[in-house]
Structure 1
Amino acid sequence: MDEQLTHAPMGVIEVAVDGEITSANPVAADLLDTDPEALWGRKATEALPRSAAGTLHEALAADSPVEQSVEEYYPTVDSWLATDVTVVEDSTVLYIRDVTARRSDRQTIDRLRRRLSRLESIDALVTTVLRQIIDASAREEVWETVCRRLGTTDLYEFVWIGERDLTDDRLRVVASAGDAPDVLDAIETELSASTALPEQRAVETNSACLVETIPEDEDLPRALRVAAFSRGLQSALAVPLTSEDTVYGVVGVYATRKEGFSTQERATLNTLGAVAGFAVNAIKQSDLLFADTVTEVRLEVRDGDLPLVEASATVDGPVSLAGAVARDDDVVVCYLRTAGGTDQLMGVVQDHSAVDDVRLVEAGDETSLLEVSLAGPTPITTLVGWGATVTGATYDGETAELVAELPPESDVRAAVEAVDERFEDTTLRARSERPREPETMETFQRRLEESLTEKQRRVLRVAHLSDYFESPRGSTSEEVAEALDISGPTVLYHLRNAQRELLDAFFDTENTSKPDR
């Protein structure tokens, strides 16, 4: 071997016609983890390590070596080597380079590309599911949509959804998708045995539960591990289906990949769980709105740490709920009536961790009206989370007495237990079913007609016909006043009173403790 090849920056090995190595430079010896002298005089097919594929050995064993380039992994030296086979007169020259780093970078890039593609597929799938469940009209439709869409894709092999059975507080399977009947059988068997499945832990903790390697997780029941292994299922993620602090169910998602749920993927599926819970809660509220009958419950909660109970202790006389409205961000805005002492009451309320905001709406001679936004755990927010409408509440410094309405087919026991679990001294004082008599449009209009004075009807009709209520307005209050030949303040006075009558009729506020949600 000439001087230049000996000191070349790559490995160089010369092989004679009979297949023996005649020379090798130090770089080649280092790449093959040996000495140059150990290579000389030996058959190339014996001296050179065998690659995973064996392509280079096959090329050297041929009667007439062919010029070619080979890139292979060599286990004995734990390296990827690229070899150029060159025929020079009566010998063959091998030029060898270590490409392990380049291969590693390429594999990393390919892995990241696959991960990105998977995340994009998951995001697209979840977006589709979210659109469909928001339009669902029944709880069962939400469960079936989530299960079917997740379980019939190439992303996941098996999906099931469980609801809590209120007769014994156990989960029961309400939907499943994917070809894994033995896994489903194992899950149903373990549910009846009260075994700690990941889905049960997710419900108990109201947080996602990840199983990275199912066959190796000894906390899982053996029957489930065996069934999952037989189907090639390696990892699972259990996501609670929640709205605020209320857990309506759980979805178990199973994949064939070890550690198959990335941080971003878990976050996406958690979002799906939250939206599914929100959809179920919205359906419950819709059921209550259109129900022919409602279930009314009366609860007594004795807990001096509750914000409104604590605050009511600072004033003489009870504090009553005049109305409550649930916002989209799980905050419930409450309107409270109290007699005197509003400064002390507001001071206590606004310092409480469960209160988001407090405002004095009206300071009257006999009673005052306060606006309190509840963002933390309270009996009201808990009941609202279960789809109830809180129609009344009274606070006397020691207890909170609440009246709430739920759809007749709703989980009344679960709603009451949700309050009892968070506020231990909770007593169900009464439960009753009462019908709702639907009011016809003609009856509503007649009732509204009777509630308005002649002047109010006249001002309201002229304002309506002259586009006073449009945006932008077609007429100003002065122009309405001019048409009626009365003063502007008089128009505004009659408009406000007429609008109040309209709103009272629509929201049925004859009982001022009855709120709209």
Structure 2
Amino acid sequence: MGTRDDLAEATLETLPLTVAVLDSTGRILLTNRSWREFNPDDDDHVGVNYVATAEMGDEEGDDEHARRAVEGLEAVLEGERETFSMEYPCHTPEEKQWFLMRASRFTVDGDVRVSVVHLDITDRKLAELDAEAALERLREQQRNLEHVLERIDGLVRDVTDAAVGAGSRSEIEHGVCRELADTDPYVLAWIGRVDVTTRRVSPREWAGHREVPLENDELVLSSDESHPAVQALREGEPRAIQDVAEFDHADHWWPTGAGDLFRSVAAIPLEYGDVTYGVLVVFAEDADAFDERELLVLESLAGTVSTAMNAIEARRMLTTETIVELEATIEDPSLFVTALATELGASVTYRGLTYDKEGTALAVFYVDCTGGVEAVAADLDGVEDATVLSEYEDGTLLELALSDGIVTALADHGGVIQRFDAVPDDRVADLALQLPNGQSARSVYDLLEERYDRTELISYHESDRPTRTLRDVAAELDSKLTDRQEMALRKAFYADYFEWPRGVSGEELAESMGVSRSTYHQHLRAAQRKLLEELFAVDPTSEG
């Protein structure tokens, strides 16, 4: 039997668990090596009442874990339960530790004994805590995502309602700024438009903290390049500053007195196709508010706003004839008009534009020289073909078939060329356009600046004119035609002079008016010219 006890004691000594055996009163009868090594003063605690020691820890520190241990041990010692286990922390200044205590009741020769085992579960506990922390982070992310989705859904709905339900562009701008400023984390929003003539961005509508004035000065596109609004307009992409406090140039464009009201700012261009309607600028209270997801949301909202603005403009164009008259000079030797004037040493005057059945632009120019004009024009870049329509004593009427170049681009923007002339000495082309709205004018001017060496805006005039009716055209034509011109035109029309074969000759019409044949044709051609001027809006004072 002694051999068996020796074996059990030796085995107990090698266990990596701290083990103590108690008698029925709670006194320690036996401990193993792990127990003694864990004790700082290398005491085996044999003879010490373990339960009483635990009670003292409870009294001194009001330790909930000690109280539970005492209650559990007493229940096992008194036979109320066979086992008891609990987990408890046992931290030191150097590290955090957790243990599992397990007490089991047994008897030896009729005497009650209780084994108390302490197992180090620190690694498992740390893993559990890490898992719980990760789970809480996931829950927090889910809550944040749900909040973001709810906020985005409400924001998109409110901004869309404000944009689609507006009756004017100003109403759209005001409603969108108000909705954005009322949505966390935004605190201020403004929408700016670009003045083509001054190259300045002017805030037209804004909403947010009323005690904060907006930028004192307008933004100049050519100089305020640090401002995200200017960057967004120039590059056609959203731009954001995540921490304004660390931005070197922020003092040049902060709203005066902003203080701590905002820390980050984003700017999104308002574009529909090739037309730029302005820029949306949004401020947030916190730094790093405009991450990639937030910018995508704002970019989507900007698309909705731009679409609504385009619809407003389209509806307005159905009821009014919006006219923007723009004049500019283009200095670039590669421009075909300038190159033609330089090569021929002659002035080139624009007469009109049409298209063939393949859609190729056919531009008609008058050149005040003769001989060799067709060959020179055909060799120019951008010219597919050149045809002489008519030659006069001192000039040539020339038709140029143009490839996909500036003339086609201007037409794509709704531009109607009024003048596109060049003289050989200036090496500069003069361009005059009529455009449907200010946005088209802005886009055209940007296009010219991008394509050519130097573009200078000479004049810009915008006006709304009522849509012309047939009665308006007839009244205008009536004011321009003389009585004899109108009579010549009506007689020719009523007598089927314009049919083929003709129902009447020019001599017969002239005789009916009591004038010579040449005088009649002079009246008729003058009337036809004025009629076509009304139709094609050709300047009657143009040369040639």
Q: TM-score range by the shorter chain?
A: 0.5 to 0.7
Aligned-partner Cα distance in 2 for 1:452–1:66: 122
1:188 equivalent in structure 2: 215
Q: CA deviation at 1:141?
A: 1.9
Partners of 1:161 and 1:174 within 8 A in 2: yes
Matches within 5 A, 1:99-114: 99=128, 101-103=130-132, 105-106=134-135, 109-110=138-139, 113=142, 114=144
Match of 2:293 among 252, 264, 268: 264
Partners of 2:193 and 2:203 within 8 A in 1: yes
2:152 equivalent in structure 1: 122
Match of 1:349 among 382, 390, 413: 382
Q: CA deviation at 1:150?
A: 2.1
Between the two proteins, the alignment pairs up a number of residues equal to 411
Q: 1:165 to 1:77 in 2, by over 3 A?
A: farther
Aligned-partner Cα distance in 1 for 2:161–2:411: 26
Matches within 5 A, 1:35-50: 36=38
Matched, 1:252 2:285: no
Partners of 2:102 and 2:118 within 8 A in 1: yes
Amino acid at match of 1:303: D
Match of 1:303 among 316, 326, 332: 332
2:110 equivalent in structure 1: none
Partners of 1:300 and 1:426 within 8 A in 2: yes
Amino acid at match of 2:363: R
Q: Deviations over 1:322-347 (max 9, x none)?
A: 269xxxxxxxx983325896998598
2:269 equivalent in structure 1: 240
Q: CA deviation at 1:147?
A: 1.2
Q: 1:208 to 1:322 in 2, by over 3 A?
A: same
Tell me, what secondary structure is at the counterpart of 2:381?
helix
Partners of 1:342 and 1:368 within 8 A in 2: no
Aligned-partner Cα distance in 2 for 1:12–1:445: 115
Q: Deviations over 1:72-99 (max 9, x none)?
A: 9x998899x9987877678696744223
Q: Deviations over 1:222-262 (max 9, x none)?
A: 9959966744x443222233456775433222334542222
Q: CA deviation at 1:25?
A: 12
Q: Deviations over 1:190-239 (max 9, x none)?
A: 869998654455456654332223444454339959966744x4432222
Partners of 2:269 and 2:280 within 8 A in 1: yes
Q: CA deviation at 1:12?
A: 11
Matched, 1:394 2:420: yes
Match of 1:158 among 188, 195, 202: 188
Amino acid at match of 2:432: V
Aligned-partner Cα distance in 1 for 2:332–2:88: 74
Aligned-partner Cα distance in 1 for 2:133–2:431: 65
Amino acid at match of 1:60: H
Matched, 1:60 2:65: yes
Amino acid at match of 2:362: L
Tell me, what secondary structure is at the counterpart of 1:188?
coil
- Where does structure 2 lack aligned partners over 5 or more consecutive residues? 1-8, 44-49, 73-84, 106-113, 366-372, 391-397, 478-491, 499-530, 540-544
Matched, 1:147 2:147: no
2:3 equivalent in structure 1: none
TM-score by length of 2: 0.51
Q: 1:390 to 1:217 in 2, by over 3 A?
A: same
Amino acid at match of 2:289: G
Aligned-partner Cα distance in 2 for 1:160–1:309: 42
Q: Which moved more, 1:193-202 or 1:269-278?
A: 193-202
Partners of 2:13 and 2:33 within 8 A in 1: no
Amino acid at match of 2:295: R
Partners of 1:59 and 1:66 within 8 A in 2: no
2:363 equivalent in structure 1: 337
Q: 1:451 to 1:161 in 2, by over 3 A?
A: farther
Q: 1:235 to 1:411 in 2, by over 3 A?
A: closer
1:211 equivalent in structure 2: 241
Q: Deviations over 1:304-332 (max 9, x none)?
A: 344776689899976765269xxxxxxxx
Aligned-partner Cα distance in 1 for 2:71–2:538: 96
Aligned-partner Cα distance in 2 for 1:120–1:343: 66
Q: CA deviation at 1:143?
A: 1.2
Tell me, what secondary structure is at the counterpart of 2:163?
helix
Q: 1:204 to 1:293 in 2, by over 3 A?
A: closer
Tell me, what secondary structure is at the counterpart of 1:159?
strand
Q: 1:318 to 1:208 in 2, by over 3 A?
A: same
1:174 equivalent in structure 2: 204
Partners of 2:321 and 2:464 within 8 A in 1: yes
Match of 2:163 among 127, 133, 147: 133
Q: CA deviation at 1:266?
A: 1.6
TM-score by length of 1: 0.53
Tell me, what secondary structure is at the counterpart of 2:290?
coil
Aligned-partner Cα distance in 1 for 2:281–2:420: 42
Q: 1:431 to 1:222 in 2, by over 3 A?
A: closer
Q: Deviations over 1:432-456 (max 9, x none)?
A: 7888564447788999xx99999x9
1:322 equivalent in structure 2: 353
Aligned-partner Cα distance in 2 for 1:39–1:342: 111
Q: Deviations over 1:367-418 (max 9, x none)?
A: 76747545xxx69858986xx743435365955443323579x599978975
Aligned-partner Cα distance in 1 for 2:140–2:375: 63
2:433 equivalent in structure 1: 404
Partners of 1:239 and 1:252 within 8 A in 2: yes
- Where does structure 1 lack aligned partners over 5 or more consecutive residues? 27-34, 48-55, 325-332, 351-357, 457-504
Tell me, what secondary structure is at the counterpart of 2:183?
coil
Q: 1:208 to 1:382 in 2, by over 3 A?
A: farther
Aligned-partner Cα distance in 2 for 1:452–1:65: 123
Tell me, what secondary structure is at the counterpart of 2:189?
strand
Q: Which moved more, 1:249-258 or 1:312-321?
A: 312-321
Tell me, what secondary structure is at the counterpart of 1:348?
coil
Between the aligned residues of both structures, percent identity stands at 18
Q: Deviations over 1:136-183 (max 9, x none)?
A: 4422122123212322234534323344578976655433334x344x
- Provide the alpha-carbon RMSD of the alignment: 6.6
Tell me, what secondary structure is at the counterpart of 2:186?
coil
Partners of 2:275 and 2:439 within 8 A in 1: no
